[in-house]
Each structure stands twice: as structure tokens, then as C-alpha cells.
Structure 1
Amino acid sequence: MSAQNSTAQNLSFVLEGIRQVKFEDRPVPEIKDSHDVLVNVRFTGICGSDVHYWEHGSIGQFVVKDPMVLGHESSGVICKVGSAVTGLKVGDRVAMEPGVPCRRCEPCKAGKYNLCEKMAFAATPPYDGTLAKYYVLPEDFCYKIPENITMQEAAVMEPLGVAVHIVRQAVVNPGQSVVVFGAGPVGLLCCAVARAYGASKIIAVDIQKDRLEFAKKYAATAIFEPAKEAPSANAVRIIEENNLGPGADIVIDASGAEASVHTGIHVLRAGGTYVQGGMGRSEITFPIMAACTKELNIKGSFRYGSGDYKLAVSLVASGKIDVKELITGIVNFEDAERAFEGVKAGKGIKTLIAGIPDTSPGPFGL
């Protein structure tokens, strides 16, 4: 498999089947709506969902039936704008929000467009992703980034947007204690956002020592490695080791692991808040008695909604959150498959794939 960068008009990284990928030159997408823009994609992060589609060909009811371009964590440069676009111009650097809602259903009209019934989300069947030279998005789903944010950092706005949404679901307030299960990219960013929101204690929980050490250096105030014992026993140790009194104010699960869910419910104080951000098995056992008797506030969290991307950009631009430390590898476009293999093997925190800059003198050249 090779990438013919010099002659391709819109080179794309396409998933054909389980562990079957190829580079394909596809037509440059057209601007069909006057509010849309054409983006030259510069960097794309690899998400766990991308790897899952590559390895299994499906996630739940979303099954790859036709060849699909992968990727959805991207940044790029505007190279063409629709006639009604007023807030962006050719040459602007942007973070790309990859899910476009219908804007007409009840969730959209209620301000919860992440729950849109007809969401067109990049690299979720049947919609193509952003691992291509060009991608079209509505103007209001491209966020202009200031000069002090690099294009690499801008690609991390997608997982940061997820973390912002989770923390907003949790309604974190200054001085509160937050326990975050899972020290992957989203869990680490949840720690960072919680810290930016003023949480005084942020305990990162994971079974991988290296991720815990990174979490401690990055944004957590303490770390905890669960023992092979009952979740309730681990919860007691978390409370005791971190002087949480009657329990934590807030628990965020970014792992999806059943043991983490159980431990999280048990570690909360009465009246505390639990937010499920990680996706694991579709069905698990659940400590319903503890949830009821503590009268917990239990919430789900899905992707990101209104204001989340904007806040993510602001947090990085202001220096309240540093996402550079999460970027542990950048590979060339032609090495995309190798990057997927590395992420699957658990190497690094966040791997980016460099896109193909538009340097041609043609209609899209910058």
C-alpha cells in the first residue's frame, strides 16, 4: 500500500474491511451549501473508536458496510468558503468539530444537538471521516484558533471537547473533590478541565502505572491503582488515602470498565454526582442499592454540545490547559496504518497523523 501524494487530488485513508485499509484518491468534496467551507486537513488524532472500526468493523449498531474514510479529530486550514460565509476566510486555521446535526429535530431545537436523531458524524457509518486532504464542514463547526495555538494542538480540541462536556455534565465547582476513572486521553483531559474549574482534589484511577505517573505530572493531585479486590474495598481505600471524608463529590468514569463503575458509585458521598463518559460493554451489573440509598445524581455524557468546542479553545488559548504534553507521536500520512497499530498496542497518549498541505497554485492553493 502506498500513498501517491504528488499526483493525488484528495488522498484519503479508507477502511475497506476489518484490518483492511488503503489510500485512495477521491474527488475533492464540493461546497453544496452557501454556509459551508472547504478545509485542507493538517493534523488528525487517532481515537479509540477509529481503532475499533479498523479492528472490528463495527461499534454497536454502527457497521461499516461500504468503504469509509477514517478519522475525526482534526485541524485544518480554510481553502475555500461558501457565498454566505462571513466569519471565516481562506487561510484561517481552524479546529474542526466533526459532527453536523440536522438542526431541526427536538434535541437540536432544545440545544442538545449532540443527541440529534440524524447526526452526520465523521467516520461513523455511513459518513466518511477527516483523514483526507480535504473535508467540507459548515462554517459554525470550524473554530478559528489564535496564533498561540498550534495546528497540532488544535487537533486535540476534539477529545478536549469531550472532556469539557463531561465536566459540564458533572457541574464541577471550586473546592470539590473529583475522582476520574481511566487515565487515557479523555480521562486525563477531564482531570485538566476539572482543575481549570477549580476542583481542589482530583484523583486519577487506572490499572496502568505509566499512565498514572503521567496523570500525576499532568493534572491530577493524586493517583490510585486499584487492587484485585472488591470494588467497595477499593472505594474505601480511595476515600481513606485522600481524606475524602464521607466520599467524593464527583466521580467521572472515562474507562467504561465495570469494576470502575462499581468503585465509582461506592466512592461517592451521599448526594454526589456520577457521570458516565467511557463506553464499555453494552450491559453490565450495577450497584443500584448504593445509587438509590445515596440519592446520587447519575448522568450520561455523549460527545460535545453547544459551547463545548469554543470553551475548549479558550481553555488552551488562555493557558489554563496544556494539550501539548498529550501529543506523544506524529506520523506522516503515508504511515497512517502504522500509527493505528501503535495506538492499538497502547503506545503513547495521543498520536497525530500529519495531513497533506495544499501548496498547489490551483483554485485551492494557499
Structure 2
Amino acid sequence: MKAVRITGIRQVDVVDVKEPNKLNSHDVKVAIRSVGVCGSDIHYYNEGSIGSQVLQYPWGVGHEAAGEVVAIGSEVTSLQIGDKVAIEPTIYCGECSECLNDRRHTCLNQRFLGCPGQAEGCMSEYYIMPESCCIKVSEQLTPQLAVLAEPLSIGLYAFKLSGMKQANTKAAILGAGPIGLSVLASCLEFGQEQVIMTEPLPYRQEFALRMGAQSCTYPDDEESLLEKNKVGFDVVYECCGKQEALDQALRILKPGGKLMFVGIPETKHLQFNMDLMRRKEICVQNVRRQNNSFEEAIEMITANPKYYEQMITHNYSYSEAAEAFENVTLYKNGVIKAMVNF
């Protein structure tokens, strides 16, 4: 079968690999139809690592995926051959202290798709996953829309984790990429309409406004940000992993505000202005992927598919995967979310 592999820094190839056929009793074999190119995939593509997670080449990436069930294990009960599914990429043990504490996303024995040392990614024609990671979706949902359940679930989880569910709270989202837009969609879904965004790319500023942001300004236009909210923001979602965004978040948060750290930094270490953070009594909450939000994200997309399909700006065949990765890396041609299709 055909599979996409990262073979070096800024190098992607399509290779022939053996098709997986061995199913355990609770496994499902999925014919992959579409895989999203995620920001974490781009880190591996550009830098060969995320923090301590370092690639050994060649390596299969891809964890935002959807497809069709083509085979099931002997004890699978929730799915049938022919069902359309979205893939939740965290394979968890269900037995460790984290899983038993309803924290499957931080399972001590987890294998996350595309994560070095855990499990190769699913950017391939077929992939085998546990039944628990294959979530049935409506026949009317395209594979590309089903793929969006994974990034949207992160934005939704970040919103829920913030605890900022009151309609009158004021939020800022730093970064209008797919994750920042997923946070925005989640805020709007639950009535938090006073949301502004920052974004350096003009086309993404315009996109954020189309998605419902109250305003979207350049990151260095901090005066404009504070004009909109002189007291400061109740919550700031940092969605780009940049030191300068972290610094800005602390400046524009109001006393007692909450910083949601959603973005993935390019480096292992970032610095906090502890004087400012202490005097304002800022609460910092890291967001690790998603927990108990995947099915809800599917419901949100199913209820309003036209709203979400505008995020899918580019579709590529698997033979064009190298072009997809390069375009996402360089923010070319107005890309928001690029899909690699099989």
C-alpha cells in the first residue's frame, strides 16, 4: 500500500509498505480517505522533533484522519464494515492511574499516532486502530469534515478547560490558524461572543472575521487590543507557541485572568514574566490535546457543516503530499487546513 513518510528535514516521500492485516479482537481496519496536515506534523517536517520527541527517519506522520471500516475484530460491537469513522488518535491503555482518573489523553502507556517512539502516523491507505478510537460519523459527513473533529476537539477542550462559559466574559485568541479558529468556533458555540483575535497574516485576519471573531488585529497592535478592553481580558488562548505571544498574553490579561497555553512551542523552554504574572495573580493552564470532547466536536460539525467546511481550503492527493507540507509550512495560497486524500 502507499504511505507518506518524512524522510529528512523538509523531505516527504510516498513509499510502498506492507498493508496491515492482523487484527486483534477489538481492532478495526480503516481505509483512510483523508488526513489533515497538522501544526505538529509541520514541526516534525521542519525541525525533526517536538521537544524531546525526535524522529528516526523514515517516519510516518498524520493523526487527523477519517475513513471507512473495511474489517473488524471478532469482538467489535459498535461498528460494522462500511461505517464511516473519524479517528481519535490517542491509543490508551484504560488501566493506568491517568485512565482511571478519566484522563485518557495523559495515559501513562499511551501511543499517539505520528508520535516518535509511540505509533507511526496514519497517512496511508489503510490503518488498524482499536475500536474505541474509531468514532462513527454520519454518512452525510465528508471525510474532510470528519477529519476536522480532531483539531476542533482541541479547541473545544481548551474552551471547556478555561471555565469561561459566561456570555459576558471577554476572550482573546492569539493566532488564527486551525487551532485558534477551533477555539473561536467553540467560544461562539457556547455564547461567548466577545472574542478578539491577533494574527500576523492578513488573509488569516480576514478569515477569522468571516468565522465570527469580533475583531482581528496584528499582534504588535497592542494599543488597539487594549482600546477594545481597557481592564484586560478574562482569558487569553495562546495558540501559536511563540515567546512574544506568551509575553503579550500576560500584558493583556486582567488581574485574576487565565492564560490557556494551547500552542506548541518550537523550543523546549519559554520564559514567563513572573513579576507581572505574580502581581496580576494570573492562572496558567496548559492544554494537552483533548479529553472527552471528540464526540461533541463531531456533533458540532454535523449540526453546522457549512460553517466548518470553509476551513478546508486545500485538498491534495497522497502523491502531492510533499507539496501539501511545503505549502502549509510557507502559508502559501491562503491555506488554513490542507487535506491529503487517498
Pick closer, same or farther for the CA change 1:334–1:312 going to 2, 3 Å: same
Matched residue type, 2:245: S
Partner of 1:192: 185
Structure 1 residues 321 and 328, CA, compared in 2 at 3 Å: closer, same or farther? closer
- What residue number does 2:61 align with? 70
For the residues of structure 1 that align with 2:12 and 2:237, how far apart are their CA atoms?
35
SS of structure 2 residue aligned to 1:69: coil
- CA offset digits 1:127-155 (Å, max 9, x no partner): 21111111111112111112342211011
- Please state whether the residue corresponding to 2:255 is helix, strand or coil: strand
Match of 2:236 in 1: 251
Q: For each residue in 1:44-63, what CA deviation from the matched residue of structure 2 results, as whole angstroms up to 9, or x when unmatched?
A: 11112212222322222111
Aligned counterparts, 1:1-150, within 5 A: 10-126=1-117, 127-150=119-142
Q: Counterpart amino acid of 2:17?
A: R
Where does residue 277 of structure 1 map in the other structure?
262
Distance change in 2, residues 1:321/1:182 (3 Å): farther
Q: 1:350 and 2:337 equivalent? A: yes
Q: Does structure 2 retain, via aligned residues, the 8 Å contact 1:31–1:82?
A: no
After superposition, the C-alpha distances for 1:186-240 in whole angstroms (9 at most, x for unaligned) are 0011111111121120101112222111101112111121337xxxxx2x54122
Match of 1:266 in 2: 251
Letter in 2 for 1:74: A
In the alignment, residue 171 of structure 2 is paired with which amino acid?
Answer: V
Deviates more, 1:100-109 or 1:324-333: 100-109
Distance in 2 separating the partners of 1:25 and 1:227: 47
Task: Label 1:287 to 1:321 Cα distance change in 2 as closer, same or farther (>3 A).
Answer: farther
Give CA deviations for 1:161-187 in whole Å, capped at 9, x if unaligned: 111121111123131211000111100
Secondary structure, aligned partner of 1:211: helix
Q: Which amino acid aligns with 1:130?
A: C
**Structure 1 equivalent of residue 289 of structure 2:** 303
- Count matched residues: 337
| Deviation for aligned residue 1:279 | 1.7
Aligned pairs for 1:151-166 (under 5 A) are 151-166=143-158
| Structure 1 residue 100 displacement after superposition | 0.6
2:257–2:282 contact (8 Å) kept in structure 1: yes
**Counterpart residue identity of residue 79, structure 2:** L
SS of the aligned residue for 1:68 comes to: coil
Structure 1 residues 110, 312: closer, same or farther in 2, change over 3 A?
same
CA–CA distance in structure 2, aligned partners of residues 43 and 185 of structure 1: 16
Q: Please name the residue that 2:175 is paired with.
A: 182
2: distance between equivalents of 1:21 and 1:237?
Answer: 41
Instruction: Say what the alpha-carbon RMSD is for the aligned residues.
Output: 1.7
Task: Please name the residue that 1:333 is paired with.
Answer: 318
Listed as ranges, the matches of 1:210-229 within 5 Å are 210-227=203-220
Matched residue type, 1:143: I
Contact 2:23 / 2:128 at 8 angstroms: preserved in 1? no
CA distance in 2, matches of 1:262, 1:31: 50
With structure 2 as the length reference, what TM-score do the two structures score?
0.93
Q: Equivalents in 2 of 1:275, 1:328: separation in Å?
A: 27
CA contact (8 A) 2:86 2:146 kept: yes
Give the equivalent residue in structure 1 for 2:277: 291
The alpha-carbon deviation at position 259 of structure 1 amounts to 1.5
SS state at 1:331 partner: strand
Q: Partners of 1:141 and 1:53 in 2: how far apart?
A: 23
Letter in 2 for 1:181: L
1:162 is aligned with what amino acid?
I
Deviation at 1:111, TM superposition (A): 0.9
Structure 2 counterpart SS, 1:15: strand
State the one-letter code of the partner of 2:193.
S
Q: Is the 8 A contact 1:188 1:219 kept in 2?
A: no
1:208 paired residue number: 201
Q: C-alpha offsets along residues 287-331 of structure 1, whole Å, 9 cap, x if unaligned? A: 2222222222210001111x2111100111122882201111101
Unaligned runs of 5+ in 1: 1-9, 229-233, 356-366
Structure 2: gaps spanning 5 or more residues: none
Distance (Å, rounded) in 1 between the aligned partners of 2:21 and 2:299: 31
Q: 1:290 to 1:321 in 2, by over 3 A?
A: farther
271-280 or 50-59: which moved more? 50-59
Sequence identity, in percent? Answer: 30
Q: Secondary structure at the match of 2:310?
A: helix
* TM-score after normalising by structure 1: 0.88
Tell whether the 8 Å contact from 1:96 to 1:141 is kept in structure 2 after alignment.
yes
